[in-house]
Amino acid sequence: MKIRVAGMQMPVSTDIRRNVESICEAIERAAQERAEILLTPEGSLSGYRHDFDAGEAKEALERVTAFARRHAVGLALGTCFVEEDGKCYNQVRFYQPSGEYLGFHSKTLTCGSLDTPPRGEIEHYTVSALRVFPWRPGLTIGGLICNDMWANPQCTPMPDIHLSQRLSAMGARIIFHAVNGGRDGSEWSELTWRYHESNLRMRARAGNVWIVTVDNAAPVNLPCSAPSGVINNEGAWSCRADAKGPQFFACTIELAENVRQPAVTLPT
């Protein structure tokens, strides 16, 4: 089974209109590459913030999803969004090329301080139950957001519950991972990059899953906080974007038929 995927390492701003332009440009490129689904970074539509204009974000979402539907490109769209329950979620929203909305993954390991009680984005976003999404017959996918994958010990006040392994146990063959990490060009940023990459590769291999991952490109003069591209189920890069600035990539994933995901024992 084959699926062609794409990702856009784009600068994410607080200007929703600018973000919409970047996402629509990426959709056009994905269509040209005959990609079935496009991944964008964490908060790429709304901006990575909780105080965005909810009405403007909703209108922008309608524009982007309509544009993707016209181009027959599915979406794994990173955005913050206020749902009908009035709560704000940091999401990856999944749409089929037909435009059918499958649902969203909400960031689960929300970042916060190690104080008691913790402070930070953990105070602003609601967490929903982990789930997977049927993409096509025989192919189930999942989503994670940034710290969900690597549980950075500096900003994870809750236990690492190995979400990539959980998605694997739920049947996911591919995980779409939206990232928006900080960086300042220092030696510590380089260390963080290595930590992020090693987690991506090790967790792909441990869970026997492919990972499609993409980071925010801003500021464009500095390397990203994590690499963007596609990692196969053996933990090796199948394609990889340059580390700095806006980067588009497309890659064909070939999945083996009738593969059993590993049986894993996970902490509760």
Each residue's pLDDT tens digit, 168-184:
999 999 999 999 999 99
What is the CA 157 to chain-centroid distance, rounded? Answer: 21
Distance from C-alpha of 150 to C-alpha of 175, rounded to nearest angstrom: 13
Each residue's pLDDT tens digit, 216-241:
999 999 999 999 999 999 999 999 99
HSE toward the beta carbon, residue 70, CA cutoff 13 A: 9
User: What fold, for 2-254?
Assistant: Nitrilase/N-carbamoyl-D-aminoacid amidohydrolase (3.60.110)
Least confident of 23-27, 118-122, 256-260: 256-260
* H or E segment and range at residue 189: helix 187-207
Residue 261 has pLDDT above 80, yes or no: no
Contact by Cβ (8 Å): 20, 156:
no
Q: How confident is the model at residue 257 (pLDDT cuts 50, 70, 90)?
A: confident
Contact by Cβ (8 Å): 195, 152:
yes
Residue 92 makes CB contacts below 8 A (sequence gap 6+) with: 76, 77, 78, 104, 105, 143, 144, 145, 176, 178
Amino acid at 201: R
Give the global pTM.
0.96
